[in-house]
Structure 1
Amino acid sequence: MTDDDVDRCSAKGCQSPAVWALLWNNPKLHTPERRKTWLACDEHRTSLSDFLGARGFLKDVVAHVPPG
């Protein structure tokens, strides 16, 4: 695996490897079962969760398991 193959945190400008998957949806745009994913490192897990949670979008936070 190369450095380019590592899933990165979704926070703007962050290049840290993803550790968490934040599962969310916008009920005005998505069906209730639909889940979009933002990835987060340990440092940005709370801020990204708070951002989604304040809008009522956050559905779950789970450990990120890279594909493969």
Structure 2
Amino acid sequence: MDPDLCSAKGCQAPATWQLLWNNPKLHTPERRKIWLACDEHRGSLSDFLTARQFLKDVQPHSSSDE
């Protein structure tokens, strides 16, 4: 099985983090969407979501192939 990949555009690196977020204009408060991130893109994806006040949590990601 292939590893889960980073959500950054064009990135093919395995994901090591999951960024839990929601858009309060679209989602109920308890709803969590997930973007996956590699170590390199964790900061830039977190910054993007934080700037929009969407980021709720960042957690380590265990790939589905483990």
- Percent pairwise identity: 77
How far does residue 66 in structure 1 lie from its aligned partner after superposition? 2.4
Of structures 1 and 2, the one scoring higher in RCO (CA 8 A, sep 6+) is: 2
Number of aligned positions between the proteins: 65
TM-score, structure 1 as length reference: 0.91
Structure 1: which 5+ runs fail to align?
none
Any idea what SS the aligned residue of 2:30 has? Answer: coil
Structure 1 stretches (4+) deviating beyond 6 angstroms? none
Kept in 1, the 8 Å contact 2:24–2:54? The answer is yes
Deviation readout 1:45-64 (Å, 9 max, x if unpaired): 00000000000000000000
TM-score, structure 2 as length reference: 0.93
Whole-Å Cα distance in 2 between the matches of residues 65 and 32 of structure 1? 25
Deviation readout 1:13-67 (Å, 9 max, x if unpaired): 0000000000000000000000000000000000000000000000000000223
Any idea what SS the aligned residue of 1:38 has? Answer: strand
Question: Pairwise CA RMSD of aligned residues?
Answer: 1.0
Any idea what SS the aligned residue of 2:31 has? Answer: coil
